[in-house]
Chain A
């Protein structure tokens, strides 16, 4: 069974900082990994999908990497903004979700 762990559980940063969110998984045979954000009381918004054959994906200020051998994925957010405040979740094959990282970006 795939176990997904996200660290840190919560993060508070001032606006403009670059930050890294971590996702660890136990099954190195991961097919793909997807990063989402969730605003309070809302559904999930897909941010990036990394296929197992890829090492990273970029979308605007977001960059996600995947290292299957170490069982880790990171989401890098550049020049954070208050609008980035949300919970960020990662999920692997069969969509087992981590508990998420709650991000607060202070103006």
Chain B
């Protein structure tokens, strides 16, 4: 059974650009969550999707957005990138909200 996959694994962007990250959950999982991890702030929750609807949202500016497709795959978008957006972005999937979560390897975003 394939795990959670995230693409791309590494990304370098410059300030002001926008970026889209992709997450494919484990087959059969309908909930996808996104997290940002930085050395200073640790793991912070961005948002959670279930059945194509955002169910929970963390405390991030509107530059961070996401969506989920009918096949449960999810994308997150960050517009007008800032240096502070450099982080490891992790995606996790679960059967449904509040079930056991399984994480992908992450996308390392560097903003120059």
Where the two chains meet, the residues of A that have a C-beta atom closer than 8 Å to any C-beta of B are 31-32, 34, 36, 41-46, 49, 89, 91, 93-97, 99-100
Contact B100–A44 (Cβ < 8 Å)? no
Contact B100–A89 (Cβ < 8 Å)? no
One of B45, B88, B90, B92 near A94 (C-beta < 8 A): B45
Q: How large is the interface on B (under 10, 10 to 19, 20 to 34, 35 or more residues)?
A: 20 to 34
For this complex, 11 residue pairs linking A to B, each with C-beta atoms less than 8 Å apart, are: A41-B108, A44-B92, A46-B100, A93-B98, A94-B48, A95-B45, A95-B92, A95-B101, A97-B35, A97-B42, A99-B42
List chain A residues, Cβ under 8 A from B45: 94-97
Contact A43–B42 (Cβ < 8 Å)? no
| Chain B nearest CB, measured from A68 CB (Å) | 15
List chain B residues, Cβ under 8 A from A99: 42
List chain A residues, Cβ under 8 A from B33: 95
Q: Tell me the dominant secondary structure on chain B's binding face.
A: strand
Contact B98–A44 (Cβ < 8 Å)? no
A99 CA / B41 CA spacing, docked (Å): 8
Given contacts A96-B45, A97-B42, contact A43 B100 (CB under 8 A): no
One of B101, B106, B108 near A34 (C-beta < 8 A): B101
| Chain B nearest CB, measured from A31 CB (Å) | 5
List chain A residues, Cβ under 8 A from B101: 34, 46, 91, 95
Given contacts A94-B45, A97-B42, A97-B43, contact A43 B98 (CB under 8 A): no
B104 within 8 A of A: yes
A12 CA / B61 CA spacing, docked (Å): 38
Given contacts A31-B98, A93-B98, A94-B56, contact A43 B43 (CB under 8 A): no
List chain B residues, Cβ under 8 A from A46: 100-103
| Chain B nearest CB, measured from A19 CB (Å) | 22
